[in-house]
Amino acid sequence: MVVRAADAGWRVTEHDVPYLPRSGASKVTGTWRGTWQAVRDMSRVLAEAPVVPEATAAQSRAQRGIRR
> DSSP assignment of 1-52, as one string?
-HHHHHHTT----------PPP-S--TTTSSHHHHHHHHHHHHHHHHSPPPP
DSSP tag of 64:
T
When comparing pLDDT for 61 and 30, which is higher? 30
Q: What is the pLDDT of residue 57?
A: 61
Residue 40: its pLDDT value, please?
Answer: 92
Q: What is the pLDDT of residue 1?
A: 75
